[in-house]
Chains A and B, each alone.
Chain A
Amino acid sequence: MTTQTTGFQGGAPPSALSGQRRGPAPAAPGRASRPGSAYVLPATLFFLAFAVVPVIGVFVLSFTSWQGLGDPTFIGLDNWRRLVSDPGVLAATGTTFLLTALSWATQTPLAIAVGVWAAGRQRNRAVLSTIYFLPLLLSSGAIAIAWRAIVDPNFGIAKYLGPFIGFPDGNIIGNPKSALYVIVFVLIWQFVPFHSLIYQAAARNIPAMLYDAATIDGATRWHAFWFVTLPQLKNTIITSSTIMIVGSLTYFETILLLTQGGPGDATVTLPYLMYQGAFNNYEMGFAATVAAVIVVLGTLVSLLIVRFSGFGRMRSTLEGL
């Protein structure tokens, strides 16, 4: 019996890599048969074709003018020049960062609080947690549509709730000052359950021993949370924050369905600007330039966070899911 070290045998042309190990190697004790590169090829080629090539395509298209009909024509750096001088891009960048910062700053503490609370083994907490996770059942499209009905100033809840929060005419979604906060709120409603789920799992994995030790040292509940729970959740916080931040930088379904960037351009973020440029204005080349910025931003931010906090740890956290 022999051990195959690569999949490229039995008639397949010898490749450079299999060359070194030409011929069947004898089965040695302590050595298991190992799969060859052929096993990764389908996934790799598929990923290259439908994910990597589009990413490259974003950058290529950013140097073209294309109105969606016919073929793109190269126009050099025109789109990029326009990008840096366009006030709309600047405003959208600001809105994107504001939305991202607000989302992170609200969702993280809420998700930690809910997750840690739900991690308790008390029976009532288990029941309530079931309700807490309800928004997870709905797609983002469904959620946005439901909220559109809720914030309608004449026929929705906003009519009744608005007066209590400073909007006597229920005009929350139509006010340029508050529309973005509606988006932030809907995103909280939509995503906190998911992040609490991660925190709940992580909090349950904290060894009880650590709390026992803290108790012996006379720690209060707050101390135990601050000096035991939070440090133990560090990796989870990094994972969850990365997901949140990259998500907020790139996500626009809620905006499309709830405000379409309005009122005015109060809720136009970079991803929505890209969508609008490509599929309302049909300036595909310029939209691709905006998309390129998003790709760079998203990739950079997640790599930075991961670098900054230790790559391996994020990997192990993700793998542990």
Chain B
Amino acid sequence: MAERSIARPNYAAGVLAGIWLVIVAMPVVWMISWAVQRRSEYLANGPLALPRNVTFGNVQAVIAAGFTKYMVNSAIVTVASIVLTLVLALPAAYAIVRSREWLAGTVFRMFLLGLAIPAQATIIPVYWILTRLGLYDTLTGIVLPTVAFGLPLVILILAGSLRDVSGELYEAMTVDGAGPLRAFFRLTLPLSRGAITTVAIFSGLNAWNGFIFPLILTQSPEKRVATLGLWDFQQEYGVDVPMLMTAVLLSALPVLFLYLFARRWLVAGLAGVGGK
């Protein structure tokens, strides 16, 4: 009898799940519905009307307005952030787990503390430093602080995963005559591919979605990233809700592909995003 009480369908939960579904899904439905109609149709029929003549003309308009360039900039920032993050964090996590020197331990504690730093609050000095380095209005200028503030969580995740590589394997490699560097490439890296993918996706999403650093640290349209491009469109085409929604949806396209084809890794990477 008691058993049935847990196994029986949970109607209350079902109803609540349905309500939540409406709350989550309706805005997405509206966005899509607005994106596939003409501006005149949207203005005439109001936001609730379903599109009568589905059009993809807004995509062309968005591309013509230069949004692809912004997407490319975002992609450059994203790839550069991932590469730089991995290049910096992997050796560090390796040493934090394997090294017996005091520095490694101290550094780990520093990064743990660093988890708590709110990146947004440091924008003024970051701006000051980057202008002095001549990196104002460059994509590099976006990459540097983005990577720096992502490092603590990345190193934490990597270190956690690297710990799972057993000491015996390292000993076996040492017996075979391998130094720490060879062990790093032959043993550590191959065995932590899962964690590496996770942090790569995390850093990538972080960079792709970044707003405040690009907002303050870049100015010219040639250096504009997609998130800023959206804001720019809002100011300029606040007029054109269909076009704006098209741009919003386009900016989510790369993440959507990840979601469709690498869901497991995306979810793992997303779980890391909240840390910042």
Contacts and interface: CB of A to CB of B under 8 A. Distances in A.
A pairs with B: yes
Given A58-B121, A137-B252, A320-B160, 19 more contacts: A31-B174, A32-B183, A40-B95, A40-B99, A42-B87, A58-B125, A113-B16, A125-B17, A131-B21, A132-B20, A149-B244, A194-B270, A219-B2, A220-B5, A252-B120, A287-B124, A299-B117, A319-B161, A321-B198
Contacts of A27: 174-175
Contact of A33 (B87, B117, B145, B178): B178
A257 B227 CA distance: 11
A117 B17 contact: yes
Contact of B116 (A114, A240, A299): A299
B271 interface: yes
A53 interface: yes
Contacts of B16: 113, 117
Contact of A294 (B5, B17, B48, B118): B118
Interface of A: 1, 3-7, 17, 27, 29-40, 42-44, 46-47, 49-58, 60-61, 110, 113-114, 117, 125, 128, 131-142, 145-150, 155-157, 159-160, 189, 191, 193-195, 197-198, 201, 211, 215-221, 224, 240, 243, 246-247, 249-253, 257, 271, 274-275, 278-279, 284, 287-288, 291-292, 294-295, 298-299, 302-303, 315-316, 318-321
A260 B120 CA distance: 16
Interface string B148-175: 1101110111011101000100110111
5 contacts: A46-B148, A110-B20, A117-B17, A138-B248, A201-B271
Contact residue range for chain B?
Answer: 35 or more
B27 to A, nearest CB: 6
Contacts of A35: 91, 94-95, 98-99, 180-181, 184
Given A35-B91, A44-B92, A141 B122 contact: no
B129 A250 contact: no
Interface string B244-260: 11001001100110010
B171 A243 contact: no
B274 A43 contact: no
B211 A146 contact: no
**Majority SS at the chain B contact face:** helix
A194 B180 contact: no
Given A35-B95, A131-B24, A43 B88 contact: yes
B268 interface: yes
Given A149-B34, A302-B115, A321-B268, A34 B123 contact: no
Given A137-B256, A318-B153, A271 B121 contact: yes
B236 interface: no
Contacts of B268: 321
A301 to B, nearest CB: 8
A50 B178 CA distance: 35
A54 B125 contact: yes
Given A39-B94, A284-B124, A34 B30 contact: no
B274 A247 contact: yes
A139 B115 contact: no
Given A31-B171, A298-B117, A318 B275 contact: yes
Given A27-B174, A201-B271, A319-B156, A132 B21 contact: yes
Given A142-B248, A155-B47, A193 B24 contact: yes
Nearest to A138: B252
Given A32-B173, A35-B95, A136 B117 contact: no
Nearest to B183: A33
Contacts of A194: 270-271, 273-274
B25 A40 contact: no
A299 B114 CA distance: 9
